[in-house]
Structure 1
């Protein structure tokens, strides 16, 4: 396995494009001789791609839902489903988390698929994709200023395996935007906007050190703690993330082994740091207008020994994510 260093061509400013297998290829990039990647891959990069990959509801029926009752019916079913969320679905019970069963894809239609007032819970399930959605607004600021009393997550995972969380906008939840708990593994979190939250992205809640997680091309903005907090993760690979105006940075703790590559930290307190017996190796990142710790230690690991991946230059990360993170019209 190898990692590839490229300068991605700006497919969104290409003068024209050609459709190939449902994706767009910038012809300017092709003319320049540079690689012209598909706009968005329908398969994950990172640990979710290993050991057979993550396919979600592939092979199952495709259904389109626009009510909570329909979403809950198909997401909790035993059979595989590709569930297209068309428009805004408001949960009647604030903070409820739909119990997603194995072999499901839940994907927003265009940029308008929204989950409001609740989220999803993946408990001891496998092979799930959550993609192209906005999940928002369970915040209880008057009753719970520290996000301690109401466990209203956007996406919570306990003991889940092979999960891909991609191109979502997650914001203003009363607790975590993403909680990866109890040995959840083979997880890839990519191209998400992670926005306006207190306890943002927590990983751990276990004494075991077995989990393998990839976090790449995410835009953390105006968040406070856990960006992410990585506790007892055997292999945590973070690359090409953009942290902007956050109260903390990438925290490797417990016995975690963390590798950070080519990320961009702007206005961040403690951009990257370690506690306990954790390891953290960093390379290629840019830090601006930030203060506090930049700690490294330990040997790290070689992510390329697990999977192939592509690194963008850190200098290009803000523009890439401002243009390409979050829900996209051409994904669903």
Structure 2
């Protein structure tokens, strides 16, 4: 009988023990995303705090805090205590950021107290019907909700096509383009459609950013191993097989020891950064504008940053799976594959 990945009590339990590697190896986000939020806050004259819901280890929280530079308080909201601990340790002391342990479906804020709610690569795991209700309850008139997501551009990359084919072979429920749901399964998610169908939000728009990146073998492998989907594969096939696959994939697609890729703009709404604004004031950004943002980041493959904005109308130790993956990597035949552990 084929082994299946573990079932977790909640959609965030599987991140326990993996925060340090997640924070170190997962990609960040274009500063342009934070600038758009900052510009709207300034233009609307809002003074409430901004909540980064599902803030994880604070990767996007730091981008946002650096851009806002103390303009309003920023609160990271994270249900996983291990991830939140990493976020607090990684946050520079001069940034005006605090953290609270809570869920997206029950936010710890008073009514109409926030200027904005943001969520980066997390909202797909929420019960979004309840979450959107909390947004309406807590965000001030004229405030915004911003949903951000880095998305693999598997349609442009042979390496990514192979990567997702391998994942599909390990986890039959998974299909490329799908994301983890609140129930632990996989499904297509279209934030734009959901927000369009909700009468409390309006004026849905879209924009894309360009990313350019280069990654070396060690970082490439660790970026993959720090993701929940690769860890699920390891539970099914064994850690050694996963590590060998990543090593082989890199060697076949890299040039001079680096895996390079350029991400091109796409104007179709399905694959771009999404916006939603509230009825009171529309964010003046054309739907098909492409704001180029070239970053050097370390990724397993091409990513596409995805955002949804909406105004309101009217710690530590690695978990068991991660420890097995790290052990497999240490015993692999790759030249110096584990220097980053030391």
What's the TM-score, normalizing by structure 1? 0.26
- Name whichever structure is richer in strand by fraction: 1
The structure carrying a bigger helix percent of its residues is 2
Give 1 or 2 for the bigger CA radius of gyration.
2
Question: Looking at both structures, which has the greater relative contact order when contacts are Cα pairs under 8 Å and sequence separation is at least 6?
Answer: 2
